[in-house]
Amino acid sequence: MGFSVSVSHSHGLSSQLSSSSLLAQQLSSSSSKSTLFVGFPFTSYASTLHGKQCRSQPHLVVYSKRVSGLEEALRIRRECELQGTTKFRRRPPLRRGKVSPRLPVPDHIPKPPYLSSNILPEISSEHQIHDAEGIAQMRAACELAARVLDYAGTLVRPSVTTDQIDKVVHEMITEAGAYPSPLGYGGFPKSVCTSVNECMCHGIPDSRQLQDGDIINIDVTVYLNGYHGDTSKTFLCGDVSGPLQRLVTVTEECMEKGIAVCKDGASFKKIGKRISEHAEKYGYGVVERFVGHGVGTVFHSQPIILHHRNGSPGVMVEGQTFTIEPILTLGGIECNTWPDNWTTVTSDGSPAAQFEHTILITRTGAEILTKC
């Protein structure tokens, strides 16, 4: 279960250029073997010659701008992908269903400390680095979360409600002697997050039935013996269209590529770079607002893991645990949050997919803890 951050951008480009400065800029572009041509027609105008009026013919002025072969290939690829995206048939927009009462947790199950308040906890500044005992506890919590998520995925089919999925997840977690971490976190009313179609994340389970062709992200976090294990996956419901299947596949690949760069001493910014490079090949947007996070005895802590290109400082340390959980969209990356203060959907209604693993940094790489 991720959290959101505010991301600001600084643009040092002037919004207007004179035609002469624009031409100079284009003609002075760095040389390359590939050239992109941009042109526009001049407006015709009337003139007088020897007392006779003549009308000039429209002219086409062509400016050339040199771009690298890679830039040109990416531009063409993106145009093709966007053209393919426009053929995607939009599904009816999400509507909130009825939310059932919060499920009880047996008294003997240890509870996380944030349940004492409905206020969203501050992000802990503590980087969670574990000794051998802590790693063993993290493995146990993450293995349970992975098993629960795997079983929850088997429930995904048309006509099943997300509320039914929540009840099964709740029972499976509590029967294992663990607490469902989302329940009561900042006032969240359910034991799991279920985000359907254009919902980026933090969807609240309700009475809405899943429809044939939906995609749904199920985000499971368990609190076992004082440690949180956090994971999520996007599942296909019934007969899902090709564009949506590809979005889901590429999103999982992005997460895997982000994990592949992780090891002791590696910089955190490599994660966002690798994810963005892969997503851009397919023309997908990488959501910037929601990020990965440190996880362990504390649900959400430093480091904040950005999934887009960034210049964030810091390096990974052996024994450290955190999540990588990119969200990709078929359209824009802007989002709106519903009045429930949790459900966040794409502003343009385009579908979104997300995958998440909790990983442990080792000397030579990263161990994925949330694998069955």
Is the domain defined by 132-368 classed in CATH 1.10.101.10? no
Distance separating alpha carbons of residues 198 and 279, to the nearest angstrom: 18
> Annotated binding residues for a divalent metal cation, as ranges?
219, 230, 293, 325, 356
Q: Which residues contact 60 (CB under 8 A, 6 or more apart)?
A: 39, 40, 41, 42
| pLDDT tens digits, 329-356 | 999 999 999 999 999 999 999 999 999 9
Q: Read out DSSP for 157-176?
A: STT-BHHHHHHHHHHHHHHT
| Burial class of residue 333, CB neighbours in 10 A (0-12, 13-18, 19+) | buried
Do the beta carbons of residue 237 and residue 215 sit within 8 Å?
Answer: yes
Distance separating alpha carbons of residues 107 and 131, to the nearest angstrom: 30
Closest CA to 191 of 300, 105, 92: 105
> How many other C-beta atoms can be found within 10 angstroms of the C-beta atom of residue 187?
12
Beta bridge partners of 93: none
pLDDT of residue 28: 38
| 172 torsion bin: left (phi>0), alpha (psi -120 to 50), beta (else) | alpha
pLDDT of residue 1: 80
- The highest-confidence range among 30-39, 43-52, 332-341, by mean pLDDT, is 332-341
Side-chain-side CA neighbours of residue 22 (13 Å): 10
| pLDDT reading at 35 higher than 80 | no
| pLDDT reading at 5 higher than 70 | no
Closest CA to 215 of 66, 91, 122: 91
In this structure, what are the phi and psi dihedrals at residue 75, rounded to the nearest 5 degrees?
-65, -45
Place of tokens 């994925």: 368
Side-chain-side CA neighbours of residue 126 (13 Å): 11
> Annotated binding residues, as ranges?
202, 219, 230, 293, 300, 325, 356
> Annotated binding residues for substrate, as ranges?
202, 300
Q: How confident is the model at residue 2 (pLDDT cuts 50, 70, 90)?
A: confident
Q: Which two tokens stand for residue 198?
A: 């254009």
| pLDDT reading at 311 higher than 70 | yes
| pLDDT tens digits, 53-109 | 444 444 444 434 454 555 555 555 555 555 544 456 778 899 999 999 999 999 999
What is the helix (H) or strand (E) element at residue 147, kind and residue range? helix 132-154
| pLDDT tens digits, 142-164 | 999 999 999 999 999 999 999 99
Do the beta carbons of residue 152 and residue 192 sit within 8 Å?
Answer: yes
Region 187-199: mean pLDDT is 98
Q: Which two tokens stand for residue 178?
A: 């663990």
pTM of the model: 0.79
Region 246-252: mean pLDDT is 98
pLDDT of residue 318: 98
Domain boundaries, the chain: 132-368
pLDDT of residue 4: 67
Closest CA to 303 of 275, 328, 323, 276: 323
Closest CA to 236 of 206, 199, 261, 211: 211
Q: Which two tokens stand for residue 127?
A: 């980087």
For the chain, the average pLDDT equals 84
